[in-house]
Structure 1
Amino acid sequence: MTPHNNSPLAEPSSLQGTPGTDLVVDVGPIAHGGHFVARHEGRVIFVRHAIPGEKVRIRLTDSGESSRFWRADVVEVLEGSPDRIPHFWKPADSLGSWSRGGPPVGGAELGHISLQRQRSLKAEVLAEQLQRLAGLQRTTEVEAVGDNHDDGLGWRTRASFAVTSKGRLGMHAHRSDVVLPIKEMPLALPGLNELKLWDLDLSGIARVEVAVPANGSRPLILLAPEESTSPKRLHSILSQLPHDVSVASFDPSKGEVLQLRGRTWVQETAAGHEYRVTGEGFWQIHKDAPDTLVGVVTDYLSGGGYLQPGAAVADLYAGAGLFTASLADAVGVTGSVLSVEGAPGTSRDARKNLHGEPQVEIVQGRVERVLHQRPRNFDSLVLDPPRAGAGKAVVKQMMAAGPRAIAYVSCDPASFARDLGYFQQGGWRLESLRAFDLYPNTHHLETVGLIVPAS
């Protein structure tokens, strides 16, 4: 493998550890996080925008003599994979972006790979994590959801943006403070693109969050002003925004959402229920994700006889109550549902969404603290933790609650596999597992596992 830069006489040793250096490498398997493994003189390099089996020219983006591994982007394909396709989005195309002098935006790092191959690669990541962290040999298909003929586009109901120094809507390059302007978001629902936020002068705003519900209800734009932004400037920005859209300001550090126009929340629909979700409150971002996940969870628990009228169940990391509402339907007024959520604003949403369900108890607080303070037995549990997973302490508490089954919804195969390992150490096993491509053209995937006592 030969290093390349503007000086053909440069010695390899003078190039090692220098960001911006070009190398030619053979691409190996995919790794968790959207990278592909390559090696240069024994050094592991995590390469983005590659495909296994390719020979590519890469540019180091994060390196150093003391680094355990380096990071790089593909800048030229020398021997391509048959699964490589033209990238659908110019700002996210590594080859085109580097030819224009800079890195691509993050957020669509698998857009150069056919959807079928994307899903097989995600299945490889899931299998590798299960083997490495849980000692479990299991191959699971990553299933498409919704319209399988949409090229993996137009599915996002939520998007987060930065703002360039010139006040234009933008996105960060991967692992970088660089903000690159954009003029479209192909992964998002048409309603988000129709807002045309990239045409506005957003000077004075540090971050923009947009929620466009799949049911067609009123969108919400959240603006995070810079500390120096005056009320007059904020009003000027507000006057540029479409009048039929709700607008609020928010402080990410404090979690405060203040009304500027319309509502501070959006109305979502899933599994026959309506949900109010305030500000940055969590909601599945794929338009078809809520119905898909609720369906799998309830099928797992009902099909095994773990969820029936009169049962006692708990929904942990419950958010605005997506799963809680369907669990309440299943157990009826003779059963009980404990719904636990740590974020105060999201927990308030859950109270509003489930105020007419007497069998539901909404508790705001950290899951481990609530389970410690309110020890009780449950027939089954549902958990949908953040990317970091539940962790060893919570897994122990869940097993101690004596459920006959646990439905675990995860957006990260590594934390899921780690937690599954904790369950196995406690005498539990993975009964069923399904995986879904809820984030097409990115490296992310969603899994739903049914975990039961081994005995």
Structure 2
Amino acid sequence: MGESVGTLLELDVTGIAHGGISVARHEGRVVFVSDAIPGERVVARVTEDRKKSFWRADTVSVVTPSEHRVDHVWPEAALDRDPAERPGGAEFGHIALAHQRTLKHDVLVDAFARFAHLDLAETLGHDVVVEAAPGDDAANGLGWRTRVRLHVAEDGTAGPFAARSHDVVPVRSLPLATAAVQQSAPLGRAAMPGASVIDVLAPSDVDGARLVIDDQKPTVITETVGERTFQVDDTGFWQVHHAAAAVLTEAVQDLVDRERLDAEGTHLDLYGGVGLLAAALGDLVGPKARITSVESSGRATEHAQENLAEWIGARAETARVDRWLARTASTATPAERQRYRAGTIVLDPPRSGAGREVVVQIAALQPAQVVYVACDPVALARDVATFADLGYRLQALRAFDLFPHTHHMEAVARLVPIA
């Protein structure tokens, strides 16, 4: 911290950065400003200047508002609350929903320009639209979270963390959550004394919500996607938006090039979780599909094996993806290598992306196509650049607003060998 912390600055906000923070300048120095919108003039309090190349600041009032500014969808996160008391998790809640998607589009395009050296519109032959999930426009982007994590302060107050901190802040509402989660969430003082973390989740197989306290022993729940069901631990990973699993299933199936899909190939689902995207691919290939799902969580792999049981050629393996790929590359027979070359690889890595080592290993298998599901545009763009160095080009891309009122989005890309 430095002597500028606490200083009030009047700033002209000029752009949006990755992470949902707006950008301004003060005497030539970049200032990252929360709770602002590009085009606004705001008064912001400096919160951090330990990196002298830039400062961070929180908006405390708006001098000239954007035409896209609206009343915050989460009253507890509005400007009339001290920035240190504003809950995190709805950092775009003061921006009209359609404009949120414009800003996400801009971040996606900028990420590909900076990190993949690609003009997306030129590469794809059209501009990318950040698509809404079904029902979100009618609901103004509210009521979509089926899972919410609350933290418990020493006095027993259960609530979210304040933005960019580990301080629990009291709230009376959770407007991004489904009705079942909102009704069951133990908000307020002394709600859960003695606990530290409370997960509130509303699986699709039951009415109402359940509480998981301090990552207690997992219980198996059922999630439904279309006509298919998936077994998953209540403490395990599942998409948060109630429509996300269906949206991503459809997107993966749409992005798979059917002419490149060989029923005789060996297909991979990397970072496969409980088999959601392996099933999406299996439905395209057919009942004899040879699909391997690779996932580091043993519990998830057990569920994936059950969830994929209808495909006799499907298997789920517990392993780190990089180690599994290295072992596969070193032990595959010529016939197996041929089947991998005929195969399609789907991957859904964590927010940090697949990374260079995994991308190199994927490209070494020479698959017919790669369908990449990403929750971070910069990580995706970096990995697309690595794929390009290894002979794979971006051919198609769709983006989805599966986290309304936050800066997050999902993107699904298809990469194919450069002819």
Settle same-fold status: TM greater than 0.5.
yes
**Aligned pairs (5 A) from 1:80-91:** 80-91=65-76
Cα deviation code 1:151-204 (max 9, x no counterpart)? 100011111111122212111112212210122211011000111411562111
Cα deviation code 1:382-411 (max 9, x no counterpart)? 000000000111111111112111100000
Aligned: 1:176 with 2:165: yes
Q: For the structure 1 residues 17 and 426, does the alpha-carbon distance in structure 2 shift closer, same or farther, using more than 3 Å as the test?
A: farther
Q: Which moved more, 1:335-344 or 1:325-334?
A: 325-334
**Aligned pairs (5 A) from 1:264-343:** 264-301=219-256, 303-307=257-261, 309-343=263-297
Q: For the structure 1 residues 17 and 38, does the alpha-carbon distance in structure 2 shift closer, same or farther, using more than 3 Å as the test?
A: farther
* 2:147 aligns with one of 146, 151, 158: 158
Q: For the structure 1 residues 102 and 386, does the alpha-carbon distance in structure 2 shift closer, same or farther, using more than 3 Å as the test?
A: closer
Cα deviation code 1:210-233 (max 9, x no counterpart)? 221245456432111xxxxxxxxx
Corresponding residue for residue 258 of structure 1: 217
Q: Does the aligned pair in 2 maintain the 1:308–1:330 contact within 8 Å?
A: no
- Percent identical pairs in the alignment equals 39
* 2:57 aligns with one of 72, 89, 101: 72
Q: Does the aligned pair in 1 maintain the 2:180–2:208 contact within 8 Å?
A: no
Structure 2 CA distance, aligned partners of 1:191 and 1:218? Answer: 5
**Aligned pairs (5 A) from 1:335-414:** 335-375=289-329, 376=337, 377-378=340-341, 379-414=343-378
* 1:120 aligns with one of 86, 94, 102: 102
Partner-residue secondary structure (3-state), 1:382:
strand
Cα deviation code 1:87-135 (max 9, x no counterpart)? 0112222x1112xx74311100000000111000000000000000000
Corresponding residue for residue 201 of structure 1: 191
- List structure 1 runs of 4+ shifted beyond 6 angstroms: none
Partner-residue secondary structure (3-state), 1:360:
strand
Q: CA deviation at 1:332?
A: 2.9
Corresponding residue for residue 449 of structure 1: 413
Corresponding residue for residue 25 of structure 1: 11
Corresponding residue for residue 9 of structure 1: none
Q: Does the aligned pair in 2 maintain the 1:271–1:294 contact within 8 Å?
A: no
Aligned residue-pair number: 401
RMSD: 1.8
Structure 1 CA distance, aligned partners of 2:76 and 2:112? Answer: 34
Q: Does the aligned pair in 2 maintain the 1:286–1:439 contact within 8 Å?
A: yes
Structure 1 CA distance, aligned partners of 2:23 and 2:280? Answer: 42
Structure 1 CA distance, aligned partners of 2:387 and 2:262? Answer: 24
Q: Does the aligned pair in 2 maintain the 1:218–1:267 contact within 8 Å?
A: no
Q: Does the aligned pair in 2 maintain the 1:298–1:326 contact within 8 Å?
A: yes
Q: CA deviation at 1:16?
A: 6.4
Partner-residue secondary structure (3-state), 1:28:
strand
Structure 1 CA distance, aligned partners of 2:84 and 2:248? Answer: 38
Amino acid at match of 2:174: M
Structure 1 CA distance, aligned partners of 2:347 and 2:368? Answer: 14
TM-score w.r.t. the length of structure 1 is 0.84
Corresponding residue for residue 232 of structure 1: none
Aligned: 1:97 with 2:81: yes
Corresponding residue for residue 223 of structure 1: 213
Amino acid at match of 1:287: H
TM-score w.r.t. the length of structure 2 is 0.91
Structure 2 CA distance, aligned partners of 1:424 and 1:217? Answer: 47
Amino acid at match of 2:140: D
Structure 2 CA distance, aligned partners of 1:271 and 1:310? Answer: 27
Task: Provide structure 1 residue ranges, at least 5 long, that are not aligned to the other structure.
Answer: 1-14, 225-249, 251-256
Q: Does the aligned pair in 2 maintain the 1:310–1:332 contact within 8 Å?
A: no
Structure 2 CA distance, aligned partners of 1:315 and 1:382? Answer: 5
Corresponding residue for residue 106 of structure 1: 88
Amino acid at match of 2:75: K
Structure 2 CA distance, aligned partners of 1:82 and 1:271? Answer: 39
Structure 2 CA distance, aligned partners of 1:433 and 1:27? Answer: 30
Q: Does the aligned pair in 2 maintain the 1:36–1:47 contact within 8 Å?
A: yes
Q: Which moved more, 1:284-293 or 1:199-208?
A: 199-208
Q: Does the aligned pair in 1 maintain the 2:261–2:368 contact within 8 Å?
A: no
